[in-house]
Amino acid sequence: MNDSIMLTLAQNSGSGSSPVLALGIVGAVLMILLFVTVMIVKQYKRCPSNRILVIYGKVGAQRAAKCLHGGGAFVIPLIQDYAYLSLEPIVIDIPLQGALSLNNIRVDVPSTFTVGISTDPVLMNNAAERLLMLPTQAIREQAQDIILGQLRLVIATLTIEEINKDREKFMNHINENVGQEINKIGLELINVNIRDITDESGYIVAIGKRAAAEAINRAKVEVAEQERTGAIGEAAAVRERNVRVAQEHALAEQGQKDAEQKQRVAVAALEAQAVTGEVEAKRDQEIAAAEREAETVAAKKKAEQEQRIRVADAEARAVEGENTSSAQVAESNAKLAEIRAEARRRAEVAAAKAAEAILAAEREQELARLSKDELAPQEIEKKRIEIAAEAEAEKQRREARGEADAILARYSAEAEGVRKVLEAKADGYRQLVQACAQNPQVAPTLLLIEKLPELVAEQVKAVQNLRIDKITVWDSGRSVEPKNGGTRGATADFLSGLIGSLPPVHELAKQAGIELPGALGRVTDDDTNPPHDVQKKA
């Protein structure tokens, strides 16, 4: 290059040009080249990963800016300029209070929203048009206003129960509504954190108490059912054990009695009187054993009855707790309805006063306001009466269901007790028949003896209130020829037959271990001479 410059200078000098001019031209060219190189390097802008490069100016037809996320671009001097948008998340506190829900209950929903500028091409252009060169605080305030409005709108479309129970549905509505609105300014929703949901009237707290009471009542009912199942199973196991033990004892006793019977048959030919005494002793032993067995069965049934009564009492207390909780819930609902009606009335009265101040000069609107003031309290009163009537009806229905369940449980327990008593009697009769297998005629006799006191008592009741001063017997006068000769009247024959039947009756009562009334006389050891009392009665 130096050689060419010297050659050019030589040629210029040869041609008569000035060397100073040539040097100046070369220097100017070098300066221009250096300036162009520096400008090219300086105007090429690179975009960091946590920012968006926005090139504005003349960037193309019908475009206000060109946005780049990553990479770089050349910024044409004088025609274009550039700026950056930060992609760092912005945390926004939303102290929402008094938002009106679908069932006209105001709730407080303090929450935290995390937003940021989106890297979507369309949303980046929205951010470049609306948020470029704004400080972070200004962006936060704009997003906060949008989020507050959309959050109130979402709450107004849901009831308290939906907000409190179906959180997924609540969050989906928030993401959909809030996301669409903040996308218009180039932001996207990153996270939503609902810190708490409360209301001024305490409705959410009442719902929680009701759910807790229902869970407690369900647990009590399940515990009572499990205890009842365990008690029934235990009673069945005890009954099975007693039956098996009784069967084994009966088999052992039967074998023993068979051996004793064979022994008594072998000795009976020589000792008839001893056998007779042994038979009587055996009869007494069997009667005593039957009495002890009956006492054991009665005690066992009494214990089972007390157990069933306790189980039924526990179930009744559980039902009573459910009814009490239901009554409290109904009362809370009634109070809540009154509070709602009062709040609605105050709101409408305030709206009416505002309309009166604004529309005082317009007669038609004044008439409409007066109509509203007259009809609104009637509608509120009508709604309150309907809610109170529904609550009272629900309370009565639940109380009726509780009483029906208690009556059903009591009758079931009584039926179970009667069935157990009948089963016990059947087992006793079965064992009695088995014990009398060698002499089947003994079993009916024992059963008859068992019922004889009741029969005598019933017969005594039939005549106990009768007052008889004297007895007159009218004899027809017909004579009866006895076998041994002579004549007797019908009355004498009747009295003779009656007196003759007294000794067997006394013997039967003696075997049964009961005492007959004194009016029937007494039987002495000498059967040939009836006692003086019997003769006197005859």
Task: Read off the pTM.
Answer: 0.37
Q: How far apart are alpha carbons 176 and 188 in whole angstroms?
A: 11
Whether the per-residue pLDDT at 88 is higher than 50: the answer is yes
Tell me whether residue 343 is exposed, middle or buried, using C-beta atoms within 10 angstroms of its C-beta: 0 to 12, 13 to 18, 19 or more. middle
Per-residue pLDDT reduced to its tens digit, 249-282: 878 787 777 777 777 777 766 676 766 667 777 7
CATH code for 85-200?
Answer: 3.30.479.30
Confidence of residue 531 (pLDDT cuts 50, 70, 90): very low
Whether the per-residue pLDDT at 1 is higher than 60: the answer is no
- Residue position matching structure tokens 């028949």: 433
Q: Give me the residue spans of the domains in the chain.
A: 2-80, 85-200, 212-435, 463-537
CA neighbor of 106 nearest in space, from 156, 175, 177, 162: 156
- Helix, strand, coil fractions of the chain, as percent rounded to 5: 70, 10, 20
Point out which residues pair with 68 in neighbouring strands. 53
What's the CA dihedral at 312, 318, 319, 322 to 10 degrees? 180
Percent of the chain, pLDDT > 90? Answer: 9
Q: How far apart are alpha carbons 248 and 262 in whole angstroms?
A: 21
Per-residue pLDDT reduced to its tens digit, 18-50: 677 878 888 888 888 887 777 777 778 888 888
Whether the per-residue pLDDT at 371 is higher than 70: the answer is no
174: Cα separation from own chain's centroid: 32
- Residue position matching structure tokens 């009355």: 491
